[in-house]
Amino acid sequence: MEDIEQTCASLRAQIAATEAQLAGLKRELQIAERAAFDSQSQETRSGSGSSKDDMKEKVRQWPLLAEEYRRYGRQMIVPQLGLRGQLKLRSAKVLIVGAGGLGCPAAVYLAGAGVGTLGLVDGDTVESSNLHRQVLHRSRNVGKLKVDSAIGYLRELNPHPTYIAHREHLAPDAAADVFKDYDLVLDCTDNPATRYLISDTAVLLGKPLVSASALRTEGQLMVLNNPPRPVGDKTGGPCYRCVFPRPPPANTVTSCADGGILGPVVGTMGVLQALEAIKVITADETQAPVPPSLHILSAYSTPLFRSIKLRSRRANCAVCSAEATVNLDTVRSGSTDYVFFCGSADPEMLLRPEERVTPLEYRELHPPTGGTKEGKQPTMIDVREKVQFDICNLENSINIPISTILASSNGSGDAKLPPWVPAELATGESTDPIYVVCRMGNDSQIVVKKLKELGLDREGQRKVVDIQGGFRSWREQIDPEWPNY
């Protein structure tokens, strides 16, 4: 067995070395082709010692390499692009923040279109749960940095652009230094704090911004700070703060891991980001910019898309108005605190240690044989959404989705408890314990507090606790075969 593992490891190392060598050769070929082109152009301009026939050939100066004409020809014959637009793409420098579900398709189409320099910012590594939507990554790259995985694919797709890897999460103290060398920024991230940081930095450095988001079956797209006028200039395009002056409550922000995402939905939004980026780069400067809009995709609605016109810059915007309080110094120094501004929902601090039990502690108190050290029969409430409950659940558990709990009131008239409380818990004087479980151990804490507020702990006589770490910890401590979705 050890010999087989060593052989596999050796083969993987050889493949990695070969891929690195191939990437190096491609870069050398690209440099050589450009050097040959520059040399030919210089000889053509000098024209010394040339016959008339030679001069006819040398005067015919083509701005692109022959291979580039073949590669980009189909898009160059589109009237809105043309040779002029292709040359703009080749000289453009685009930064993509996030190499995930949005960044991958955006990068594919920008690299394919011939953007001259493409930078990617991401500090995460590839996970198998990414692969259904993050189309640049492969199963063999699980555990590899996303930017390296992405750039490896992009170089195979198109060796002409220059690819720059920023192997870290975007931080306020470094954002301006990362942005300064690029012409256009794409926000392909998934959390509010980073979105505000990206928008603020783009405005302060005069960079147009293409921003998108996606969750479950819906997506949103905006082109911001376009045109990128100086701070205080009312003719400039609105920024992210103009559209969303206040962030959403922290406890309402849902990630793809918690809320889910359909691959084609986030892929569509990433492709549209690439399209908008190409439009911004190749725009005719003599024409007025397109009025800003918020484009919304709803995959299960008819029509699929709708657009909402956006207002111009807000007169009291904190970053792009004449009354701005955010500047590069406040961003770099941290005095503009994005985490504080967006709030931090820290569910780990909601309950005291005695209000939580680990899966192992629960199993010791209530073994699967049916006996119980507490002498009482527990009630297990699973607060995941029904679609998750249907994937896998504990026997005899009760499903009460947290969305139902948070959306309901305490009832009306003489009803003391809301309708979602099970009858066996709402009536009688039972003190049998109540356990609450969710996927990650976050929502369960909210529900424990809610149950206690409703008095279901019988003034401390009944144990109401959550399963710490949820089903993620259940899988680690109790059942390794529990589905890891």
Cite the active site residues.
256, 438
Instruction: Report the alpha-carbon angle 245-247-253, nearest 5.
Output: 155
**Residue 410 assigned to a binding site:** no
- For residue 406, with 0-12 CB atoms within 10 Å meaning exposed, 13-18 middle and 19 or more buried, which class applies? middle
Picking from 64, 74, 89, the residue whose alpha carbon sits closest to that of residue 161 is 89
**Residue 279 assigned to a binding site:** no
Q: Name the residue type at position 102.
A: L
Picking from 241, 250, 131, the residue whose alpha carbon sits closest to that of residue 195 is 241
Burial annotation 242-264 (CB, 10 A radius, 16+ → b, else e): bbeeebeeeeebeebebeebbee
Using an 8 Å Cβ cutoff, are 392 and 483 in contact?
Answer: yes
**Residue 160 assigned to a binding site:** no
Cα distances (Å, whole numbers) of residue 204 to 231, 270, 330: 7, 25, 11
Q: Which helix (H) or strand (E) holds 27?
A: helix 2-46
CA distance 213 to 295: 11
Strands of the sheet with 464-467, listed across from one edge: 356-357, 464-467, 434-437, 379-382, 398-399
Using an 8 Å Cβ cutoff, are 445 and 467 in contact?
Answer: no
CA distance 411 to 47: 90
**Residue 131 assigned to a binding site:** yes
Using an 8 Å Cβ cutoff, are 202 and 209 in contact?
Answer: yes
* CA–centroid distance for 260 within its chain: 12
Q: Name the residue type at position 246.
A: R
**Residue 457 assigned to a binding site:** no
Cα distances (Å, whole numbers) of residue 349 to 183, 356, 381, 442: 42, 11, 21, 10
Alpha helices in 230-334 (DSSP H): 240-243, 256-259, 263-281, 328-333
**Residue 53 assigned to a binding site:** no
Q: Which two tokens stand for residue 236?
A: 């400039």
What secondary structure letter does DSSP report for 287?
Answer: S
**Residue 317 assigned to a binding site:** yes
**Residue 157 assigned to a binding site:** no
**Residue 239 assigned to a binding site:** yes
**Residue 146 assigned to a binding site:** yes
Cα distances (Å, whole numbers) of residue 437 to 135, 408, 468: 33, 20, 8
CA distance 43 to 380: 81
**Residue 130 assigned to a binding site:** yes
Query: How many C-alpha atoms does 458 have within 13 Å on its Cβ side?
Result: 13
Which residue positions form the known binding site for ATP?
101, 122, 129-133, 146, 190-191
Which residue positions form the known binding site?
101, 122, 129-133, 146, 190-191, 239, 242, 317, 320
Which residue positions form the known binding site for Zn(2+)?
239, 242, 317, 320
